[in-house]
Amino acid sequence: MTAPPPMSAEPRTATRRAPRGAVAAATNGAAPAGRIEALTFLGANFALALARGLPDPDRALRGWLIDEGRRQRLTVTTIAVAADGATTLLLLGGGRRSLVAPPTGGIELEQPGRRGVGEPVSVAQANVPPEQLGQRLRDEFDAAARARLQERILARVARSAGSLADASGPLAALHDATRDQLPRPEAGPSAACVAHVDGFWRVDHASYYVEGWAFDRKAQLRSLRLVTPEGRRVELLRNAFRYSRPDVCTHFSVPASERLGFIAFVELPEECASHDGWALQGELSDGSGFEVKAPPVVDQPLALRTTILNDLDLDDGDGLLRSAHLAPALTRLQRRLSESVEIELVDQHGIPPEDPEVTIVVPLYRRTEYLEHQLAQFVHDPEIRRADLIYVLDSPEEAARLRRLAGHLHDLYGVPFRLAILSANAGYSTANNLGASLARGRKLLLLNSDVLPAQPGWLSRMVDFYDAHPQVGALAPKLLYEDDSIQHAGLHFERNAADDGAGAGTWANEHFYKGLHRRFEPADVSRAVPAVTGACLLIDTELFRDLGGLRGIYVRGDYEDSDLCLRLREHEREAWYLADVELYHLEGQSYPTPERAAASRYNQWLHSDLWSAALSELEGVA
C-alpha cells in the first residue's frame, strides 16, 4: 500500500472493500500505532481522536474503520501532540463515505513499515460527546495549544468538506469546552475598555456586515476579534471604518469628536451555519482580555441592503467606508439576491407569434398599473402583436392579483404577451436578465413599464436602423416628457465638481438636451453617443447574452445601462441615439423615487470607480 502524503499536503482518501479472507493480508507487515482512548464525531465525515502511545507521532499514519470484515480507509491527520509526547490529537476523515459505524464497528491505526497487527478499538466504547473530549484536551494541552489546535481542526475540516455546516454543532461544543472564558467588561460610565455589537447581518454564506462601538479610555485595546461559535476568529478593528457616536461619547463623558463607532465587512474562510453563539473578544496590551456576547445573526438581505445604503451618510470622503466595506458587502449581497431568484412560472396570454424578430422585456415592480397603460397603446400597433412581449413581475407579492388582471387585460386588448413571475424581488438587472433568458427574438428590446409609444411603427424602424449599421451595439430612441420636452437624446458623462453624496470627482450620467423642446434642431440628428438609456434599449439578443446581460452589482436600477454601453465599447460596438423614433417616458414612475435616491448615489460612485479611465476619455464628449 502507498503511504498517505505528509500532513502539509492535502490528504487523499481511499475507500474500498477488502475481498473475503483478505483482511489480515491487507495489514500484513504493519504494527499497532498506539491506541485510541477517546473519539468524538464531527458530523458524518470526520472524527477527532485522542491516541496514546504512538511510537512516532510525527510519522505518517493510516486508519481503518472496520465492520463485519469490511475495511474503510481513513485519512489521518495529526493536529497536535501533548507536551509530554504521550498523547496525540488526530483528525480522522472518511472521505465520501460516512464514518458513523454500528456499535460492532471499530477503528484501527497503523504506521506503515512496522510488523504485526493491532486490535481495533470499539467505536461504541471510545465514542464520547465533544464536551467530554474538550475536557480531556484541557487536561492534556495548555491554553495556547488549544487555541492553535482549534484553528487547525477548522482549517482541515473546511478544506476537506468545503464547509463547516455539517460539523458546526460538534465543533461549537468542542470550542466551548476547550476555550478559556474571558471576563465580561464593566460597561458603566467609568469603564476603561468595552465594546458592543449593535447590528450583525449575514451578507452571504461566508461574509458578514457588523456595526457597533468600541471604547478604550487608556488606549490599551490591541485587538478586537469576532469569534464564531466554532472558534474561527476574525479581526474587526484593524480595517474597520470608525465614525463618531455622540451617544456613546456622552455615556463615557468623552468629547463627541472621538470616533467610537465602527462598521466592518468581514469574510470567513468558509461558511458558518450558526446564527447564535458568536462573541466579541478584546485583547489589551498587557495580555488580558474581555468578551461580550454578539447578538444573533440577522439573515434578511433586503433589510441589510437598506441598512448599508443608509450608512452612505456616514462617509467622510476618504473612500474607506465605500471601497472597503459598503461596496464589497453590496456586491456580495446583490450576487446572492440574484442567484437566489428564479422564474417561478410563466403565463401565456394569447397565441404567441411563430417566429418573432424582437423580444420585448418589461420589468414590473409595484406600479403594475403601467401594464394596462402600455397595452392600451400597443393595441394600436400591429407590429407589437408580432413581437415576443414578456412582462416580468419583480414584486411577486402581487402575483395573484396581477395574474387575474393580466387575463382580463388580454381579453380587453387582445395583445399576446407572457407574464413571468419571479420567486422573489430581484432588482432591475436580474429581472431583465431573467426575462431575456426567455427571449425568442433575434433582437432584444429592454423597455421600462412607464415608456409609452408616440405612434405605431416605432419598433421596426429601430430594428431596421440597427441592422443597417453594423457598428451599433445599443440603440435608443428619443424619449419625451408629457409636455413634449426632451427627456433622453443620448447620455454623456459629467464630472461632479462638489460632493453631491456620491463623492466629489465622480461622474454622473447626464441626458443630452434634457428639458428642451422635442424639435430642438441638434436633437433631431441620429448619432453615436457615449451611452444610451436602458428605459428603451435595443440590442442583439446573442450579443446581450455574450456580455452576460446587465451586471447585477448596481442597486435597484441606475447605471446598468451606461455600464452595458461601456462594455460594448470594449468590444468595439457603439451606442447610438435614433432621433427619428419618439416615445414618452414618465421617468422614475416605475418605482418610487425616495427609494432610489441612496441607491443612485451609491451606483454613481461604483460606476465611476469601475470605469474611471474610460469616463475620463469620454468626459466632455458631445
Kindly report, residue by residue over 16-67, the tens digit of the pLDDT: 333 333 333 334 445 556 788 899 999 888 999 998 888 776 778 888 888 8
Instruction: Report pLDDT for 219.
Output: 85
Q: Is the dihedral of CA 152, 155, 157, 160 positive or negative?
A: negative
What is the DSSP pairing of strand 443-447 with strand 62-67? unpaired
Instruction: Report pLDDT for 318.
Output: 81
* Interatomic CA distance for residues 81 and 58, integer angstroms: 9
Instruction: Return left, alpha or beta for 595; rule: phi > 0 is left, psi -120 to 50 is alpha, else beta.
Output: alpha
Task: Please give the average per-residue pLDDT across 444-453, as a whole number.
Answer: 97
Residue 591 has pLDDT above 60, yes or no: no
Q: Of 19-33, 181-195, 370-384, 559-573, give the lowest mean pLDDT range.
A: 19-33
Residue 557 has pLDDT above 70, yes or no: yes
Task: Please give the average per-residue pLDDT across 439-468, as a whole number.
Answer: 97
Instruction: Report pLDDT for 10.
Output: 33
Confidence of residue 169 (pLDDT cuts 50, 70, 90): very high
Place of cell 461549537: 172
Q: How far is CA 380 from CA 240, 456, 457, 520, 535, in A?
A: 58, 7, 10, 28, 21
Mapping DSSP onto H, E and C, the string for 251-302 reads: HHCCCCCCCCEEEEEEECCCCCCCCCCCEEEEEECCCCEEEEECCCCECCHH
Q: Of 16-25, 105-114, 436-445, 513-522, give the lowest mean pLDDT range.
A: 16-25
Instruction: Report pLDDT for 238.
Output: 87
Task: Please give the average per-residue pLDDT across 581-587, as a whole number.
Answer: 93
Instruction: Report pLDDT for 499.
Output: 59
φ/ψ (deg, to 5) at 621: -65, 125
Which residue has better confidence, 57 or 181? 181
Which residue has better confidence, 109 or 594? 109
Residue 593 has pLDDT above 60, yes or no: no
Kindly report, residue by residue over 498-508, the tens digit of the pLDDT: 655 556 688 99
Domains of the chain in sequence order: 23-176 (no CATH), 193-334 (2.60.40.10), 341-618 (3.90.550.10)
Q: Are 329 and 265 in contact (CB under 8 A)?
A: yes
Kindly report, residue by residue over 6-23, the tens digit of the pLDDT: 333 233 333 333 333 333
* Interatomic CA distance for residues 622 and 619, integer angstroms: 9
Instruction: Report pLDDT for 245.
Output: 96
Q: How far is CA 163 from CA 166, 204, 472, in A?
A: 8, 13, 46
Q: Of 75-79, 158-162, 401-405, give the lowest mean pLDDT range.
A: 158-162
